[in-house]
């Protein structure tokens, strides 16, 4: 082979190798691959792979395979994990400004919550993550939280009194739940099913999609649709991945995150619409008409502490979004 031909051949091989170079990113979340987190993450990953012509693709780790949400966030921060789809429950331990969205009864309904998270307030929160070594791509969703337990039906706030209930490692949640008479027991998600099964705790609180995907009907008899906290979620990426992307790829990731968020929210809508009937069929006793006013009245004293911590004006600004 002539020198010129050899040079062309080597150059062609190099170009081919560069074109075929692929980065496989680890993404994790707490629930199953068929859950809302799985649906949102899959939509995001599919769009990233398509938009980068296969240069970036995901390897998914559902069911908290890489640890609980605190561990996932820490790993993304350290750069030992590439991506995670997590709720704000643990995120506030890393980005304190996020804690405000976990206040009980802050949001009226899904339309209100989504408008706030997609608006200026939510977008500012995403930007604040950067200073903490986390890149927030888009707000996905966990959903409105409801109470389950193995002891009794909860029709009003006083019915929750004395129940030992697993909560997230989230002080804002726990401060609020204590006003209902609940004994909050913070516990990482991977430990919860066994704790419920063994009676270590009486109950837990989570959105319908989580209750469904975790098959909590197997270990909990009562479900009350308390809607006591809206639980946002977010797609986060490690800075070491984000910083090496060119502008075009950053746009692909950002747009993919929006599509992932839309898919995740749609799954939440579907589970809210169909999940109650499924859980009843599985044997759960469901209180659909809870006395919400009794819970709002009970939690009112905690709002004085929230106002001190976050500012009454900021809380009011969120509540007043129409």
Flag whether pLDDT at 14 surpasses 90: no
- CA–CA distance from 70 to each of 64, 93, 188, 241 (Å)? 11, 8, 8, 20
In degrees rounded to 5, what are phi and psi of residue 143?
125, 175
The confidence band for 20, taking pLDDT boundaries of 50, 70 and 90, is low
Beta carbons of 103 and 306 less than 8 angstroms apart: yes
Flag whether pLDDT at 4 surpasses 80: no
Across-strand partners of 186? Answer: 167
pLDDT > 90: percent of the chain: 93
Q: What is the reported pLDDT for 15?
A: 43
- The DSSP bridge pattern shows strands 83-87 and 233-237 to be antiparallel
Q: For residues 76-85, give the mean pLDDT.
A: 98
Alpha-carbon distance of 126 to 67, in angstroms, equals 23
Indicate the pTM of the whole model.
0.91
The single-letter DSSP state of residue 282 is T
Element of type H or E holding 198:
helix 192-198
Residue 283: burial class (beta carbons within 10 Å; 0-12, 13-18, 19+): exposed
Flag whether pLDDT at 209 surpasses 80: yes
Across-strand partners of 183? Answer: 164
Flag whether pLDDT at 51 surpasses 50: yes
CA 264 to chain centre: 10
Flag whether pLDDT at 3 surpasses 80: no
């Amino acid at each position: 082979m002539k020198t010129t031909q050899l040079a062309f051949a080597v150059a062609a091989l190099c170009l081919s190798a560069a074109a075929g170079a692929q980065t496989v990113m680890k993404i994790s979340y707490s629930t199953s691959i068929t859950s809302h987190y799985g649906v949102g993450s899959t939509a995001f990953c599919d769009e990233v792979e398509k938009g980068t012509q296969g240069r970036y693709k995901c390897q998914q780790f559902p069911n908290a395979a890489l640890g609980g949400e605190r561990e996932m966030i820490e790993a993304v921060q350290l750069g030992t994990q590439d991506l995670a789809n997590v709720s704000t429950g643990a995120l506030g331990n890393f980005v304190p400004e996020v804690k405000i969205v976990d206040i009980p009864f802050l949001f009226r309904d899904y339309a209100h919550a989504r408008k706030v998270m997609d608006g200026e307030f939510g977008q500012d929160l995403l930007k604040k993550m950067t200073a903490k070594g986390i890149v927030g791509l888009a707000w996905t969703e966990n959903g409105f939280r409801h109470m389950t337990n193995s002891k009794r039906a909860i029709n009003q706030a006083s019915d929750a009194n004395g129940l030992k209930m697993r909560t997230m490692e989230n002080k804002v949640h726990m401060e609020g739940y204590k006003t209902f008479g609940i004994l909050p027991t913070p516990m990482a998600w991977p430990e919860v099913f066994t704790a419920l099964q063994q009676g270590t705790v009486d109950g837990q609180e989570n959105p319908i999609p989580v209750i469904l995907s975790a098959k909590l009907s197997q270990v909990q008899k009562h479900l009350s649709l308390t809607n006591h906290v809206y639980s946002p979620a977010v797609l986060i990426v490690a800075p070491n991945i984000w910083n090496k992307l060119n502008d075009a790829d950053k746009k692909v990731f950002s747009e993919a995150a929006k599509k992932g968020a839309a898919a995740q929210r749609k799954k939440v809508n579907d589970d809210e619409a169909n999940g109650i009937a499924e859980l009843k069929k599985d044997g759960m006793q469901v209180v659909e008409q809870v006395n919400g006013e009794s819970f709002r009245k009970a939690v009112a004293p905690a709002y004085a502490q929230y106002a001190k911590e976050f500012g009454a004006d900021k809380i009011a600004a969120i509540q007043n979004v129409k």
